[in-house]
Amino acid sequence: MKTAIRGQILSFQGNPFTEPLEDCLYYEEDGLLIMENGHILEVGSAVKMLATLAPDIPIDVYQDALICPGFIDCHVHYPQTEIIGAYGAQLIDWLNKYTFVAEQKFSDKIHASQAAEIFLKETLRAGTTTASVFCTVDPTSVDAFFEKSEKLNMRNIAGKVLMDRNAPDGLLDTPQTGYDQTKDLIAKWHGKGRSLYSVTPRFAPTSSPEQMEMTGAVWQEHPGTYLQSHISENIGEIAWVADLYPDRSSYVDVYSHYNQLGPRAIYGHGVHFKEDDFRVFSETGTALAHCPTSNLFLGSGLFSIETAMTGPNKVRTGLATDLGGGTNFSQLVSMNEAYKIAQLAGYALSAHHAFYLATRGAAAALYLEDKIGTIAKGYEADITVLDLKATPIIDYRLEYAQSLEEILFVLMIMGDDRATRATYVSGKRVYFNDRDTGKEHF
């Protein structure tokens, strides 16, 4: 059955960091988007399309709103939902004090399922329709996540964390069990419905060289799967990696040595990357996830989005929340903090560029730019409707906005999950914040 959405539509069909904005930006002031079988059938001017449209097609009409591609979160930990906002520690202490304690509970299927449900609900409330998700070391946590994700028909990427040292016993696998469980989970979930599997070594310090070897192998043996991990997030972490892998010339070289770089590999952070690190990522087609709220919350440092997107060694980079090191589900908040981080380096990240990083740019980082992240014919119908009257102060502020760019910028600086009016997954409205009744519907 065909359904439609009408309103102001905004999307990117190219990369505004490297191409002229007018070639990249798609904007329709009164647009119509027709969906069928989970895909976008047609998009264009409402007035023109309505002239020939069958009258029985149901249309959701949104006034004072902006219809965008669903947001994409390139790096996030669902089991850490219960420790968002854990006080007072930087990365390694924070992992030991809070993260590793919380993650041990995910061998309990009921606990894992409840957490997955809350996580996905908050994700949709924030207008995010795809995420690249870390589960825990226990395969139970992966089943719990994908079962919930599949019910919603979401295009999510996730995987079992691989870690065999430097953590509590309850969170350790072995090179062999990690390999076997990953293989089984790939067979069970990769390509099932819209689910995609990511081989997930936590980071170099929690895997032995033997496990790193087998992790690279299992990923290489399953073309089309993803690989996700962490890199160069925190100064202490980087020194620790140098101690643990004395034969490797850099943190990047560790992952390179164990065959963990390439298309569909995406690494959180890269905060302390040098030009040579960007070069290796660029040449191998490896992607980065920029995690602004996390990098600020954990005091990790300031990532250079300017270097990643416009430097001599461009890297596919998408925006991410990195919850629970990150502090907010809303990618609008990630954009806001990304802007401030860039400001500290004297680079002004425009609203257009920031929206790109949370939509088409994030899709490109995940090698999914032909499927999601763009509103165009043939794309999967994952859509977010942003409310231009989300809060009284946004409503008031936007009365004074004089351009589309200013509206977008105010939304990204002042907006959060309250700005989501509706979220569509695979053509179906799965979240609706009804301003008339004040009620939310999932």
Whether residue 200 contacts residue 228, with contact meaning beta carbons closer than 8 Å, is answered with yes
Cβ 233 to ligand GUN shortest distance, Å: 5
380 binds, among ligand GUN, Zn ion, none (CB under 5 to 8 A by kind): none
77 or 272: CB nearest ligand GUN: 77
In residues, how long is the chain?
Answer: 442
Closest CA to 129 of 433, 420, 440, 438: 420
62 binds, among ligand GUN, Zn ion, none (CB under 5 to 8 A by kind): none
The Cα–Cα gap between 356 and 360 comes to: 5
73 or 143: CB nearest Zn ion: 73
CB-closest chain residue to ligand GUN? 325
95 binds, among Zn ion, ligand GUN, none (CB under 5 to 8 A by kind): ligand GUN
Cβ 77 to ligand GUN shortest distance, Å: 5
34 or 163: CB nearest Zn ion: 163
- Dihedral angle, C-alpha 173, 287, 252, 79, nearest 10 °: -30
89 or 398: CB nearest ligand GUN: 89
Cβ 332 to Zn ion shortest distance, Å: 20
The Cα–Cα gap between 433 and 430 comes to: 10
Residue with tokens 């027709």: 34
Tokens of 71: 């947001």
103 or 369: CB nearest ligand GUN: 103
Cβ 145 to ligand GUN shortest distance, Å: 15
Cβ 101 to ligand GUN shortest distance, Å: 12
**Alpha helices per DSSP H over 203-358:** 209-220, 235-244, 251-257, 275-284, 292-297, 305-310, 331-344, 351-358
321 or 384: CB nearest ligand GUN: 321
Antiparallel, parallel or unpaired: β 420-425 and 161-162:
unpaired
> Which residues bind to ligand GUN, rule: CB under 6 A?
77, 91, 95, 99, 202-203, 230, 233, 294, 322, 325
Cβ 229 to ligand GUN shortest distance, Å: 8
Residue with tokens 């009804």: 434
